[in-house]
Amino acid sequence: MTAIEIRSGTELPARREDIELHTDDGLTLVGELALPLSGDPVATLVTLHPLSTHGGFMDSHVLRKASLRLPALADLAVLRFNLRGVSSPRGTSEGAFDEGEGERFDVKAAMDFVASRGLPHPWLVGWSFGTELTLKYGAQYSIDGAILLSPPLHRATAAEIAAWEGNGKQLVAVVPELDDYLRPDEARERFASVPSIELVAVEGGKHLWVGEQQTRRVLDEIVARVNAAAYPLPTTYDV
C-alpha cells in the first residue's frame, strides 16, 4: 500500500453517478452524485454553487474538490448540480438565471432527490450566491443544518435570516477575513438575529478560497460539523 499526497487535482475513489433533477416548474437540471466507494454515507452534502453570471457552476473548485475527496475521506455523499440556465462539462440545466427567485424550485428539486434516494443526514452547503438560496429557502426542509461559505447577504432578507433561529437546524457561516462583500465583524452584526449561529472567521481567507491551503481549510470546516469523526482531513491517501 502506498500513500499518495492529496493535491489540488487529486480524485479519490468514489461511486459517481450523473443525475438529473426535475423542478416543479418543468425544468431538467443536470448534476452528479458522488458516494463512498463501499458502504453507506454517514451524511449528505447538497451543494449550491456561486453566481453563474460571475462564473459559478457545479464545478466551482471548492464544491468539485468536496466531491473528489469527501466520499473517500469522510464517508460523505456529495450532490452537485447546475442551477437553472447554467452549463458545465456535465451539461446545461434548462431554464435561465432568475436572480434567486425561480431557483427556489431548483433547491426543492435537489431536496426531493435526496429524499427519494433516502440519503442520510442532509446538509445544505452554499457558496456565495448559493448561501442566498440556502438562507431564503433551506429552513423549510428536513436537514441537519446548513453551512454558508462566503455569504454576501445581498438577497436574503432580515426575516429570512431570522427564521433560522430556533428552528432546530445548525447554521454555520464560514467568513473570510478579507472577503470582498461581507467580513467577519459585519457578519456578526448581520446575523445578530441568529444568536445560535456558529460564525467561523478565517484569517487570511478570501471570497473565492483560492489555493490548496484555503480549500483544505473550508473542507475541514465542513467535515468538522458533518462528520466530526473524520476531522481533521488527512493530507495523504493510501492506495
Is the pLDDT at 26 greater than 90? The verdict is yes
Amino acid 44: pLDDT: 99
Single-letter amino acid, residue 134: T
Residue 45's closest CA among 16, 17, 79, 82? 79
**Residue 1 predicted with pLDDT over 90:** no
pLDDT in tens, 143-196: 999 999 999 999 999 999 999 999 999 999 999 999 999 999 999 999 999 999
User: Which residues, 6+ apart, have CB-to-CB distance to 54 below 8 Å?
Assistant: none
Q: Residue 24: pLDDT above 90?
A: yes
Rounded to 10 deg, the angle between the 61-74 and 212-226 helix axes is 50
Q: What is the per-residue pLDDT for 101?
A: 98
**What mean pLDDT do residues 23-45 have?**
98
Residue 95's pLDDT is what?
98
Find the mean pLDDT for residues 186-209. Answer: 98
- What are φ and ψ of residue 63, in 5° steps? -70, -40
pLDDT bucket at 120, cuts 50 / 70 / 90:
very high
Lookup result for grid cell 454555520: 172
Q: What is the pLDDT of residues 223-237, one digit of tens each?
A: 999 999 999 999 999
Mean pLDDT value across the chain: 98
The class (CATH top level) of 3-238 is alpha beta
